Amino acid sequence: MTAEPRTGPPDGDWLGSQFLRFERRGPLALVTVDRPEARNALTAYMYFGIRYAVQHVNQSPELAGLLITGVDDVFIPGGDLGGASPDAWGDVPRWLGMDLTPFDTVRRSRKPIVCAVNGICQGGGMMIAMLSDVAIASERATFRAPELLRGYADTNYGQILPRQIGPARARDMLYTGRKVDAATAESWGLVARMVPHDDLMAESWAALEACCRTAPNARTAIKQNFDAYYGQWDRIAMEAGIGNPETIEGFTAFKERRSPSWVPEELREDGRL
């Protein structure tokens, strides 16, 4: 008889979602995003769980660093625009708003975070990868920032992406929604390295081990410089845009697999953008 999936808020190594696995490997931890039936799309509880995992590692004296990866051909594609939350255990993540997301927590983590980008990486997944200490991409990985196609003014992307890859390339990715392959992502500095797919996990573990050999206080001081370089994003504007007519239409069009109504009729395409 199949056991019912565990539910409930994060506690210890349980991240609050059956779609996230937390494993200890000596002094290192691994979080695997494992929701293949939804292409690893993150529920609010999964976003919250990743944030919790980063804090959990930072607060655990026996853990030195964290590796994040996905299953099959998807790393993280962003949030579940369908609104499905089969891992729900309460209302807490829903009323936390942007506080449930792991982005700032990843950005300011005292302990090293490495992302092993095994496949599709976009939306919130690409933000996590950019803000991690080292992002290593499989040769099969692809990258995309489709937020403006959904009517969503992601001011965090507007702040971070130009500083990561330069304004011209950032405008190209944000305004056109273009998909970037792993070789391009490496050459632009979107990720630190591209490796053969079969070598991804070994290279990522080695990178995390190397990061964990650096002096913690000195590393944190340098991380403050990176944090200052990225600067502050406009959270007020971003939160004000959530739930406005454009965002609602963008999310609805995505679910209905059509072009949003703001697209001129002659430019609309079959299926979702």
Distance CA 200, CA 195 (A): 6
How many CB atoms within 10 Å of residue 182? 24
Over residues 126-153, the mean pLDDT reads: 97
Over residues 73-94, the mean pLDDT reads: 88
Tell whether the model's pLDDT for residue 45 goes beyond 90: yes
pLDDT of residue 261: 96
Tell whether the model's pLDDT for residue 38 goes beyond 90: yes
- pLDDT, averaged across the chain: 95
pLDDT of residue 80: 93
Over residues 129-135, the mean pLDDT reads: 98
Whether 212 is covered by a domain: the verdict is yes
Distance CA 196, CA 21 (A): 24
Over residues 143-162, the mean pLDDT reads: 97
Whether 1 is covered by a domain: the verdict is no
Over residues 34-52, the mean pLDDT reads: 97
Domain at 74, CATH number: 3.90.226.10
**In contact, 68 and 128? CB cutoff 8 Å:** yes
Q: In this predicted structure, which of 63-67, 242-246, 261-265 has the lowest mean pLDDT? A: 242-246
Determine the 3-state secondary structure of 172 from DSSP: helix
Tell whether the model's pLDDT for residue 163 goes beyond 60: yes
CA dihedral over 117, 163, 184, 176, signed as positive or negative: positive
Model confidence at 51, pLDDT cuts 50, 70, 90, reads very high
Over residues 117-142, the mean pLDDT reads: 98
Whether 28 is covered by a domain: the verdict is yes
Over residues 73-91, the mean pLDDT reads: 90
Model confidence at 241, pLDDT cuts 50, 70, 90, reads confident
Tell whether the model's pLDDT for residue 270 goes beyond 70: yes
SS3 content of the chain, % helix, strand, coil (to 5): 45, 15, 35
* Residue 86 burial (C-beta neighbours within 10 Å; 0-12, 13-18, 19+): middle
Whether 255 is covered by a domain: the verdict is no
Whether 62 is covered by a domain: the verdict is yes
**In contact, 127 and 117? CB cutoff 8 Å:** no
Residue 135's DSSP bridge partners are: 115
Predicted confidence (pLDDT) per residue in 197-240, tens digit = 999 999 999 999 999 999 999 999 999 999 999 999 999 999 88
Whether 64 is covered by a domain: the verdict is yes
Looking at the structure of the chain, the number of domains it has is: 1
Whether 175 is covered by a domain: the verdict is yes
Whether 271 is covered by a domain: the verdict is no
Model confidence at 134, pLDDT cuts 50, 70, 90, reads very high
Model confidence at 243, pLDDT cuts 50, 70, 90, reads confident
Model confidence at 1, pLDDT cuts 50, 70, 90, reads low
Distance CA 121, CA 143 (A): 5
Tell whether the model's pLDDT for residue 94 goes beyond 80: no
Model confidence at 2, pLDDT cuts 50, 70, 90, reads low
- Contacts of residue 21, defined as CB under 8 A and 6 or more positions apart, other chains included, come to 15, 30, 31, 32, 34
Closest CA to 195 of 16, 87, 69, 42: 69
Tell whether the model's pLDDT for residue 93 goes beyond 80: no
When comparing pLDDT for 83 and 68, which is higher? Answer: 68
Say what the pTM is: 0.96
How many angstroms separate the most distant Cα atoms in the chain? 59
- Residue range of the domain that includes 236: 20-242
The percentage of the chain sitting over the pLDDT mark of 70, rounded to a whole number, equals 99
